[in-house]
Amino acid sequence: MDFSQFNSAEQAHMTKVIEKKQMQDFLRMYSNLVERCFNSCCNDFTSKALSSKEEQCVMNCADKFLKHSERVGQRFAELNAESMGPAKP
């Protein structure tokens, strides 16, 4: 974003607002990851440790979730770049 039209105090404020929003988005994604993988993988509560099957499930779940999130972000960036590009005749 271009904040050049704002004075330095407004620029600093906008930067803090954006950083706060990014942190909220990160924490929301992390919370969704934990909830999804826990609900999908952890079902034996007779031990405080994960079984090897549960641990592998959590690893696969987290890997899939992060790859999906990365791909969605890439696709969003591609679409954003296309919309910002010059109009085609």
Residue 2 lies in a domain: no
Residue 12 lies in a domain: yes
Residue 88 lies in a domain: no
pLDDT of residue 62: 94
Q: How many CA atoms lie within 13 A of 17 on its CB side?
A: 8
Contact between residue 63 and residue 35 where contact means Cβ atoms under 8 Å apart:
no
Determine the Cα angle at 11 with ends 80 and 30, to 5°: 55
Name 32's Cβ contacts closer than 8 Å, sequence gap at least 6: 65
With residue 7 as reference, give the H or E element that holds it: none
- The tens digit of pLDDT for each residue in 9-58 reads 888 898 899 999 999 999 998 999 999 999 999 998 999 999 999 999 99
Distance in angstroms (rounded) separating the CA atoms of residues 17 and 6: 14
* pLDDT confidence tier of residue 87, bands split at 50, 70 and 90: low
* Full residue range of the structural domain in which residue 33 is found: 8-83
* pLDDT confidence tier of residue 1, bands split at 50, 70 and 90: low
CATH number, domain of 68, equals 1.10.287.810
pLDDT of residue 28: 94
**Single pTM value for the model:** 0.67
Q: Give the total number of structural domains in the chain.
A: 1
